[in-house]
A and B are shown apart, each in its own frame.
Chain A
Amino acid sequence: MLVKTKVLSVKQLHKKYRNVLAVDDISFDVGRSEIVGLLGPNGAGKTTTINMILGVLQPSSGTVLIEGVDVEANRSQALESTNFAAVYAPLPGNLTVYQNLRFFGLLYGVRNLTKRIDALLEQFEIKPFRDAKSGVLSSGEQTRLSLAKAMLNRPRLLLLDEPTASLDPAAAQDVRAKILEFVAQGTGGVLWTSHNMYEVEEVCDRVLFLSRGKIVLEGNPKTLAREHGKETLEELFITVAREPLTLGVG
């Protein structure tokens, strides 16, 4: 039986840029073998939150614990069990697929790296592009490469920032299947941002709606819309984006 221990614990995370409040005292957890959707309109604070979890942005206050390790105090140790893929962070286009995986595999201290890379090339169906420069791959192939890199160290916490944003529906479905496969292994949890509510409903166990830096709603994506008098999750998303006060939140 899989025990849903916490892989990520975010406590009262707060980020302010001069006069702009980007993230306002948010707290949430991600359990092992759980996919949590972090939803919200553009500028809601999703990417800021992910950057703070990754240790590339210092919170104004609050803590981020990955498997109980404080990211700010023990950055390297915390990041050993973390990885990410984001549409805005493609891998260097001047390295080949293999070179990118080898380079990042070494940075993450992956054991039996050659074998691991071969397995990921197969799993993400990018073996034919092994020696192609990453920059010449299609969007879908680059996304699969980013995901392969994100899986290199068998992360306990996987952060995915709009991983299917540039993909056609068939490619997006393949990517979702890979992520579900990863979660089914029961070793890690996923924090997933997406603007595709159909996708969120399909893959997420739980969703958090962010608006103006605050978590305004939380719940099961399959029932949350009806709980708030909406037909679909998309309708609920639009309401959160435009009129959060009408939901009695924000």
Chain B
Amino acid sequence: MLRQYYLIRGSLSRVLPLFAWVAMDMVLWGFITTYLNTVTSSGFNFVPMLLGAVLLWDFQVRVMQGVTMAFFEDVWSRNFLNIFATPLSISDYLVGLVLSSVLTSLIGLVVMLVLATTFFGLSFFAYGPMLLPFLLVLFLFGIALGVLCSGIVLRLGPAAEWFIWPVPALISPFAGVFYPLSTLPRWMQYVSYLLPPSYVFEGMRTIISGGAVSESALLRGGCLAAFYILFACWFFMRMYKHAVHTGLIALYSAETVS
């Protein structure tokens, strides 16, 4: 965490991404939803449906990237040998990645909330008390994705970073960020049921439509997210052990996929 603080404090190129892209998303989707509200005669308010969905999705992506960016700093500075030759345990290392993500994603969340509520009238009271479990499920899944992706890069080498950046884009069609899961073909729905965010976005749409969220469905999403965190930590530990067994940590500066 201290390392991330030092790096972020001293680098504009690290400060800006904490909020610049999510702020742009808020502005872009804020205007899109405002426009949709004016051209449709149904009187339906798109702001909490679409802008709120973008905000929640961006929050999860920021959480994931908070973990992977902290990990990539060690990749980019070829620091694994120095780090893993210290008494630091692997679980402590993972906790550090998660805490870094908590702080960086909170910055993004606050900026998004300020922009969405101030300029586009998004009210989170529209989601009621379910907002907290929504954020929690997305946070947990974001952490799981971040740790899993870090494990993949640890296993495959620095160039595998390029596999990681598109991960949120690959998941979003299945998560039903902008549309109900019933829109998807059956096989895609089966994938959606395995993704915790899909329960959040379904729940969000239910609330906006005046219905009641299925607490058991949301609980299932939370349990899935908790399971993915455990799986991701197990996977990372396996990859670390593999790297120690094969000498990959010592040779990590090599740009090879082994």
Contacts and interface: CB of A to CB of B under 8 A. Distances in A.
Given A91-B82, A93-B77, A94-B7, A51 B247 contact: yes
Interface stretch (B84-92, B141-149, B177-185): B84-92
Contact of B85 (A55, A77, A102, A106): A55
B186 interface: no
A89 B80 CA distance: 9
B155 to A, nearest CB: 16
Nearest to B76: A94
Given A17-B246, A92-B79, A56 B85 contact: yes
A119 B82 CA distance: 22
B85 A84 contact: yes
B237 to A, nearest CB: 13
Interface string A117-144: 0000000000000000000000000000
Interface in B213-258: 241, 244-247, 249-250, 253
Interface in A82-96: 82, 84, 86, 88-96
Contact of B77 (A17, A55, A92, A107): A92
Interface in A50-68: 51, 54-58
Nearest to B243: A56
A48 B247 contact: yes
Interface in B1-60: 2-3, 6-7, 10-11
B159 interface: no
B87 A76 contact: yes
A104 interface: yes
Contact of B3 (A84, A86, A95): A95
A187 interface: no
Nearest to A86: B81
Contacts of A90: 78
B249 A79 contact: no
B75 to A, nearest CB: 11
Contacts of A162: none
Nearest to A85: B82
Nearest to A149: B82
Given A58-B245, A93-B77, A95-B7, A109 B2 contact: no
A22 to B, nearest CB: 9
Contact of B88 (A47, A54, A76): A76
Interface residues of A, number: 35
B83 interface: yes
A56 B85 CA distance: 6
A76 B249 CA distance: 17
A27 interface: no
B249 A56 contact: yes
Contacts of B249: 56-57
A90 B77 CA distance: 9
Nearest to A18: B246
Contacts of B245: 58
A95 B86 contact: no
A247 B23 CA distance: 72
A58 B247 CA distance: 8
Interface string B86-122: 1111000000000000000000000000000000000
Nearest to B253: A88
Interface of A: 17, 47-48, 51, 54-58, 75-77, 79-80, 82, 84, 86, 88-96, 99, 102-104, 106-109, 149
12 contacts: A47-B250, A51-B250, A56-B244, A57-B250, A76-B89, A79-B86, A84-B85, A88-B253, A91-B79, A94-B7, A106-B2, A107-B83
